[in-house]
Amino acid sequence: MEKTDKVYVAGHRGMVGSAIVAFLKKQGFNNIVTRVSTDLDLRNQQQVSGFFELEKPDYVFLAAAKVGGIMANNIYRADFLYDNLQIQNNVIHSSFVNKVKKLMFLGSSCIYPKLAPQPLKEEYLLTGLLEPTNEPYAIAKIAGIKMCDAYVAQYGCNFVSVMPTNLYGYNDNYHPENSHVLPALIRRFHEAKQQQAGSVTIWGTGTPKREFLFAEDLAEACFYLMQTHNQNGLINIGTGEDISIKDLAVLIKKIVGYEGEILFDHTKPDGTPRKLMDVSKLRDLGWQYKTDLEKGITLAYADFLKIAV
């Protein structure tokens, strides 16, 4: 990538997209193209086609998606499947039509089977049943991977797919119902602290283990792979380390400064028992994460306080 190349970041207002834009700017890229959803509905084929014909980007980071936590995934099943398929189909196909030099499709670790061996290797894709609560989202992301591979195979496009682990960081989604577990816990503990509540109740048993990557580290990894990785298929992006939901809650409680009790509602679903990425492929390519979990959550909480006040 040359610093004068035109780079389109789809989903630039989300946590991932905004981190990628910020990282590109730090690297001296000054020809970054973005559009808000009110100006460009990525679900609309005609609008996306017109945008690509007009802008002719050299590189595309496809970070736009309809996302949410376990509750949102389970409730809005049709929306998660339809919206994500539409976004992917339109952006990937228009990138081909307009001869984009390279496209990076960002998926999710939820593409792997619910009971796949741990840690999750890239070759475990499609070897078992998915977690039922987020199956529609996972199916959409798997379709995106396979679509990129198909355009590589049939047309020789340079389209690559990366699968980030659970993410958190600046500009995260703290919606009380539709957020992921880490930002949801930040909000829950903060509000409990403000209200001087005696306890915070968390869904499930607290035993599932999750891996978390700071979004700024993901942006750096995506930029690194955009320069160096040109193989089809997919590549995991993560830390290679995980933590139980219970231990995560204890850590967030400490960072927020909440002094009440943590309770677990065993009648609520746990989701996948464990989701740890095998990142040996990424390490072999020369990249490792930098931000440890406690530091990252401290930074994320400081960012949350800007909107919570």
> Is 13 known as a binding-site position?
yes
**Other C-beta atoms within 10 Å of 12: how many?**
21
> Is 68 known as a binding-site position?
no
Q: Which of the residues 137, 151, 168, 174 is marked catalytic?
A: 137
> Is 210 known as a binding-site position?
yes
DSSP letters for 249-288: HHHHHHHHT--SEEEEETTS---SSEE-B--HHHHHTT--
Active site residue 137: yes
Q: What is the C-alpha to C-alpha distance for residues 127 and 260, in angstroms, rounded to an integer?
A: 43
| Of 232, 271, 240, 235, nearest in space to 110 by CA | 271
> Is 203 known as a binding-site position?
yes
> Is 43 known as a binding-site position?
no
> Is 141 known as a binding-site position?
yes
User: Please, are residues 290 and 245 in contact by the beta-carbon 8 Å criterion?
Assistant: no
Tokens of 304: 């949350």
> Is 248 known as a binding-site position?
no
> Is 167 known as a binding-site position?
yes
> Is 260 known as a binding-site position?
no
Amino acid identity of residue 139, one-letter, is I
Three-state DSSP state, 201: strand
> Is 50 known as a binding-site position?
no
> Is 164 known as a binding-site position?
yes
> Is 188 known as a binding-site position?
yes
Q: What is the C-alpha to C-alpha distance for residues 9 and 287, in angstroms, rounded to an integer?
A: 22
> Is 12 known as a binding-site position?
yes
Strand (E) or helix (H) holding 244: strand 243-244
Question: Can you state the percent helix, strand and coil of the chain, rounding each to 5?
Answer: 45, 15, 40
Annotation: binding site for NADP(+): 11-17, 106-109, 141, 164-167, 180
Catalytic residues: 137
Annotation: binding site for substrate: 188, 203, 210, 270
Annotation: binding site: 11-17, 106-109, 141, 164-167, 180, 188, 203, 210, 270
